[in-house]
């Protein structure tokens, strides 16, 4: 009779107590076979966890850059007078060029804050770009929240895998200790 025990992606097959085969390695006992399968799962989960952690960090960086860009746009909008003229035009234009780099980097809807003459920054354009940045930030924040939940689930899965390994090691040690006690009687 062939027994099969499944541990998330690793099959452990065997006929007798000491003839289990795991990933092509034969003649393992049951506990060693399950431990090998659990180690394989732990390595896979750890790899997924590292990859998801990188995704979350990237999203956090993007949100920070978008927030910095939005801050520049809001400050520029605050300097525009109701008649459309602006104070500190040259400083604002340089800062807005930095914002334009963020727009290109993250492919946010194009904008034209600086007029044809190179000096005019309009209130309406600032408000439109501000809304586009807020929208991009909302989308990124939603994605970050989903990725964070996925990351938490992977952490729980990793912890569960390691608890399984600890349990298997304890059972193996207890079985060895019982066998040694039995020899002494």
Query: Range of 127's domain?
Result: 3-148
DSSP state of 174: H
Per-residue pLDDT tens digits for 84-101? 555 545 556 667 777 777
Per-residue pLDDT tens digits for 24-50? 666 666 667 777 777 888 888 899 999
Residue 94, number of CB atoms within 10 A of its CB: 10
Contact yes or no for 5/18 (Cβ under 8 A): no
Question: What pTM, to 2 d.p., does this model score?
Answer: 0.67
Residue 139 domain-assigned (yes or no): yes
**Residue whose tokens read 């334009």:** 100
Domain count, the chain: 1
Residue 44 domain-assigned (yes or no): yes
Residue 142 domain-assigned (yes or no): yes
Residue 185 domain-assigned (yes or no): no
């Amino acid at each position: 009779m062939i027994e099969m025990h499944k541990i998330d992606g690793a099959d452990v097959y065997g006929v007798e107590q000491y003839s289990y085969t795991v990933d092509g390695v034969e003649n393992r006992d049951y506990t060693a076979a399950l431990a090998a399968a659990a180690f394989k799962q732990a390595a896979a989960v750890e790899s997924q966890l590292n990859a998801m952690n990188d995704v979350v960090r990237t999203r956090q960086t993007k949100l920070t850059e978008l927030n910095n860009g939005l801050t520049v746009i809001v400050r520029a909008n605050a300097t525009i007078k109701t008649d459309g003229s602006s104070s500190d035009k040259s400083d604002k234009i340089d800062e807005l060029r930095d914002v334009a780099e963020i727009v290109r980097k993250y492919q946010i809807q194009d904008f034209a804050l600086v007029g044809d003459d190179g000096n005019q920054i309009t209130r309406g354009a600032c408000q439109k770009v501000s809304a586009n940045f807020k929208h991009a930030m909302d989308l990124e924040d939603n994605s970050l929240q989903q990725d964070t939940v996925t990351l938490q689930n992977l952490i729980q899965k990793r912890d569960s895998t390691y608890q399984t390994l600890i349990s298997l090691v304890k059972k193996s040690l207890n079985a060895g200790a019982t066998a040694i006690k039995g020899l002494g009687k």
